[in-house]
């Protein structure tokens, strides 16, 4: 069975900005059918490398965070550290990079938790 794909253009007007279009898109895709009530909810995001603009703006994350909170969830933003040396190879520099790119609890409504710990060594092997 083919997957159902939802998309939106980047066209905006005074009545429909991109943030409103994102909310409409994720609701149409069925986010309202997920039971977030009372549950910790990881919102995986790429916070971007310093000097790079290839990451989602924090206000997009704030839309998703707001919907999850509206549905009773306890969302937090997360990512894993990188294996290569850089500004996302440990949790401290990773969070500093995220904040420099505008990802703060004030801008997104959620805390940041780096999933694999301070040095990227907290993991569990899962046999598939």
CA 64/CA 7 separation, integer angstroms: 16
pLDDT in tens, the chain (128 residues): 999 999 899 999 988 999 999 999 999 999 999 999 999 999 999 999 988 888 999 999 999 999 999 999 999 999 999 888 888 889 999 999 999 999 999 999 999 999 998 888 888 889 99
Which of 62, 110, 55 has its CA nearest to residue 87?
A: 55
Q: What contacts 83, CB < 8 A, 6 or more positions away?
A: 89, 120
Dihedral sign (CA 89, 92, 96, 99): positive
CA 52/CA 68 separation, integer angstroms: 28
Confidence (pTM): 0.89
Dihedral sign (CA 63, 67, 68, 69): positive
Please return the burial class of 128, using the count of CB atoms within 10 Å of its CB with bins 0-12, 13-18 and 19+. Answer: exposed
pLDDT at 83: 83
pLDDT at 87: 84
pLDDT at 103: 97
Query: Residue 46 is encoded by which pair of tokens?
Result: 């790429």
Q: What contacts 44, CB < 8 A, 6 or more positions away?
A: 78, 79
């Amino acid at each position: 069975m083919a997957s159902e794909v939802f998309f939106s253009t980047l066209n905006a007007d005074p009545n429909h900005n991109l943030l409103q279009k994102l909310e409409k898109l994720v609701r149409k895709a069925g986010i309202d059918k997920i039971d977030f009530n009372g549950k910790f909810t990881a919102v995986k995001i790429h916070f971007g490398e310093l000097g790079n603009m290839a990451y989602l703006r924090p206000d997009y994350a704030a839309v998703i965070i707001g919907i999850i909170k509206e549905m009773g969830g306890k969302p937090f933003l997360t990512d894993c550290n990188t294996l290569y040396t850089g500004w996302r190879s440990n949790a401290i520099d990773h969070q500093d990079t995220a904040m420099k790119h505008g990802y703060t609890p004030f801008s997104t409504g959620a805390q940041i938790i780096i999933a694999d710990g301070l040095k990227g060594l907290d993991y569990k092997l899962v046999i598939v």
